[in-house]
Amino acid sequence: MADFWNAIKFFAHYFKRYKLGLTLLAIFTIISTYLQVKAPVFMGNAIQEMGNYLVVKLNPMTAASANLDKFHHALLMMVIFVIMMAAGLFIMSILQSLVSAYSVNDMRTGLFAKMQRMTIRYFDAHQDGEILARFTSDLDNIFNAMNQAIFQLFSQLALMIGIIIMMFKQSTDLAWVTIASTPVSILIAGVVIARARKFVNLQQAEVGHMNGFINEQINGEKVIITNGLQAASIDQFLVHNDKVRQATFKGQVWSGILFPLMMGMSLVNTAIVIFYGGSMALNGDLPRATALGLIVMFMSFSQQYYQPITNITSTYNMLQLAVTGAHRLNGVFEQADEVSPENGQNFTGIKEQVLLDDVHFGYHADKEILHGITISVDKGQMVALVGPTGSGKTTVMNLLNRFYDVNAGSVTFDGIDVRDISLKALRDHVGIVLQDSVLFSGTVRSNIAFGKPDATDEEIYAAAQQANIHDFIMSLPDGYDTKIDDENSVFSTGQKQLMSIARTILTDPDLLILDEATSNVDTVTEAKIQKAMDNVISGRTSFVIAHRLKTILSADKIVVLKDGQVIEQGTHAELLAQKGFYAELYTNQMVFE
Ligand SMILES: Nc1ncnc2c1ncn2[C@@H]1O[C@H](COP(=O)(O)OP(=O)(O)OP(=O)(O)O)[C@@H](O)[C@H]1O
């Protein structure tokens, strides 16, 4: 129920910008409802007038005065009302589409803007596919529900109320007969919908499992091929696929049963109306022509009355999906934004020292990862972080750039806490080269100039030269204008990292954070990366996560991390002399080099 109210608030928030469209929609809903419920009255009148005409015509005494004027008039009115009703429904459908398209557009924009404001914590904690699903399936479900269910819910309820009022105005007895079966119909629809929902949910869950399996298999295709496991993979896929088939079949059967069932109920109801109306005519309770007119009118009412019941019940699943979608989007909108300190200090660059002082940190409150780490680096120095996997190297980097905040202790730049520096100033002065370098769609040029879009060609070439990638780029047929898109795999992992280094060099950061690529790069590329790293590090305050120890022999300081603690610190020579963990690590690695 809480989900339901949250969804109402969610939609109200987006709809309030379209007050005019919604007001027009409400007006046209009322007009079309009136036209829809009035048309059967004219149909009944036409039949009644035809009956009256026949009575007069078949009586030789009155035959001469018989005319069909009233019959024609009622018929004409019916046609006019039906045409106006069609026009009204058409305008309603345009208004609905407009409001749906614009408000879903606003939701999408809001969601994308929110993503850009959110903390790295959110992206670390959620898989890409899960985040993407907010933009795809959730927004699609909301759009479909708006177009086919939400507005219809109101227009169908209005229609139902309109029909009830009109029926009671025409004949109280027949009105009661028509609506008497409503509780039974709603009960039957409720049972069918509950079953259908169970299987539709199951179907979605099975499709989710199957997609997860396919995703995993695509990512692991090389391992599958290497191990000759293609047939086993197909067998596993068939199991998933079969579960999807079974759930889909049951879901569709139960969903599909509702419409014919309601149709049947409506026809039975019509038969009851005819029977009751017929007996009223035969008993002589009403003049025959009037009774006949009423029967025809209520036949139409009976069918119309079941239309909203069928429509509302059959769109229930769609509404449910929209409520779930709204709940999930709300979940994203409620996430914390990155906060820049109020009156944040405008940091203009490192003048003396970067210091992590007795830092305690955990990604979750109940699990501390860094246990009182102290590392200092003087301006222009290079610190290398080494340590076994999971020791906390990347976590230290995450704190330097304020992707996360420390739990205790502090990270300071020249004595200023990073939490007091405006985020913009902080990010302007910190450059990061990640292990998995990312290229964006565009050109080689736009990728290098990503952090400085107004860079001149000379600046871009100089950065690429320092990053040792200029010659390779020039060897491509389109040089710096080479297009980069999803399918473009011209660049190896090593080359991507070189591009990433060029991108960072161009922004000329004060503090450099560099996570060395671990993937198997060939020795030539490795030497190039080494040279590029030397160029970008030279004279710059830098933190480097080194996976190959020979890359950090010249580091001003090597910090050895283990289980979230600093266990050794010093220069390469000092640490070798200590004959501790680092010395062992270095000796072991040299054996394999
Ligand atoms: N986003 C996260 N949420 C929760 N725990 C995390 C997250 N990122 C890392 N951890 C945990 O923090 C610990 C330190 O991880 P970290 O990535 O800093 O190690 P690392 O030394 O950089 O390892 P590697 O050399 O493998 O990259 C690990 O136990 C890891 O499971």
Three-state SS string across 24-71, please? HHHHHHHHHHHHHHHHHHHHHHHHHHHHHHHHHHHCCCCHHHCCCHHH
Residues in the chain: 593
Q: If you measure from the C-alpha of residue 552 to the centroid of ligand 1, how many angstroms do you get, rounded to a whole number?
A: 22
Distances (CA, A) of 490 to 217, 407, 444, 470, 496: 24, 43, 11, 15, 10
pLDDT value of position 28: 94
Q: If you measure from the C-alpha of residue 150 to the centroid of ligand 1, how many angstroms do you get, rounded to a whole number?
A: 45
Nearest Cα residue to atom 25 of ligand 1: 389
pTM > 0.90: yes or no: no
Q: Strand, coil or helix: what is 207?
A: helix
425-473 residue pLDDT tens: 888 889 988 877 888 888 999 999 998 889 999 999 999 998 889 999 9
Mutate which of 395, 404, 563 to test ligand 1's pocket (most atoms within 8 Å of Cβ)? 395
pLDDT value of position 248: 87
**345 has which bridge partners?**
421
Q: If you measure from the C-alpha of residue 394 to the centroid of ligand 1, how many angstroms do you get, rounded to a whole number?
A: 7
Q: If you measure from the C-alpha of residue 395 to the centroid of ligand 1, how many angstroms do you get, rounded to a whole number?
A: 6
Q: If you measure from the C-alpha of residue 369 to the centroid of ligand 1, how many angstroms do you get, rounded to a whole number?
A: 8
Pairing of strands 557-562, 565-570: antiparallel
Ligand 1 and 393: CB distance under 6 A: yes
What span, in angstroms and rounded, lies between the C-alpha atoms of 89 and 95? 10
* H-run or E-run covering 312: helix 288-314
Q: If you measure from the C-alpha of residue 389 to the centroid of ligand 1, how many angstroms do you get, rounded to a whole number?
A: 8
Report the CATH number of the 2-333 domain. 1.20.1560.10
For the chain, which ranges sit under pLDDT 70? 1, 486-489, 517-521, 550, 590-593
Token digits of residue 307: 């239309």
* H-run or E-run covering 157: helix 151-170
Ligand 1 and 394: CB distance under 6 A: yes
Q: If you measure from the C-alpha of residue 356 to the centroid of ligand 1, how many angstroms do you get, rounded to a whole number?
A: 18
Handedness of CA 443, 445, 450, 452 (dihedral sign): negative
Ligand 1 and 21: CB distance under 6 A: no
Ligand 1 and 363: CB distance under 6 A: yes
Atom of ligand 1 nearest to the CA of 547: 25
pLDDT value of position 207: 84
Q: If you measure from the C-alpha of residue 390 to the centroid of ligand 1, how many angstroms do you get, rounded to a whole number?
A: 5
Backbone φ and ψ of 422, nearest 5°: -60, 140
Q: If you measure from the C-alpha of residue 126 to the centroid of ligand 1, how many angstroms do you get, rounded to a whole number?
A: 15
Each domain of the chain, given as residue ranges in start order, spans: 2-333, 353-592
Nearest Cα residue to atom 17 of ligand 1: 394
Ligand 1 and 192: CB distance under 6 A: no
Q: State the Cα angle at 591 between 586 and 593, rounded to 5°.
A: 90
Ligand 1 and 389: CB distance under 6 A: yes
Q: If you measure from the C-alpha of residue 436 to the centroid of ligand 1, how many angstroms do you get, rounded to a whole number?
A: 15
Residues 6+ apart with CB under 8 A from 345: 416, 420, 421, 422, 425
Ligand 1 and 494: CB distance under 6 A: no
Q: If you measure from the C-alpha of residue 493 to the centroid of ligand 1, how many angstroms do you get, rounded to a whole number?
A: 22
Nearest Cα residue to atom 6 of ligand 1: 363
Backbone φ and ψ of 127, nearest 5°: -75, 155
Token digits of residue 356: 């992590």
Secondary-structure class of domain 353-592 per CATH:
alpha beta
Angle formed by the axes of helices 182-219 and 288-314, nearest 10°: 30
Q: If you measure from the C-alpha of residue 374 to the centroid of ligand 1, how many angstroms do you get, rounded to a whole number?
A: 18
Ligand 1 and 269: CB distance under 6 A: no
Q: If you measure from the C-alpha of residue 211 to the centroid of ligand 1, how many angstroms do you get, rounded to a whole number?
A: 27
Under 8 Å between Cβ of 71 and 51: no
Q: Strand, coil or helix: what is 401?
A: coil
Ligand 1 and 546: CB distance under 6 A: no
Amino acid at 490: V
3-state helix, strand, coil in the chain (%, to 5): 70, 10, 20
Ligand 1 and 387: CB distance under 6 A: yes
Ligand 1 and 141: CB distance under 6 A: no
What span, in angstroms and rounded, lies between the C-alpha atoms of 387 and 573? 17
Over the chain, what is the mean pLDDT?
88
Token digits of residue 331: 């979940």
Ligand 1 and 367: CB distance under 6 A: no
Residues 6+ apart with CB under 8 A from 565: 370, 371, 372, 373
Nearest Cα residue to atom 5 of ligand 1: 363
Residues 6+ apart with CB under 8 A from 126: none
Ligand 1 and 390: CB distance under 6 A: yes
Atom of ligand 1 nearest to the CA of 398: 18
Torsion of CA 123, 128, 133, 135, to 10 degrees: 70
Residues 6+ apart with CB under 8 A from 421: 341, 344, 345, 347, 413
Ligand 1 and 398: CB distance under 6 A: no
Under 8 Å between Cβ of 33 and 165: no
Nearest Cα residue to atom 1 of ligand 1: 124
Token digits of residue 118: 């959110």
Residues 6+ apart with CB under 8 A from 173: 276, 280
Ligand 1 and 38: CB distance under 6 A: no
Under 8 Å between Cβ of 119 and 337: yes
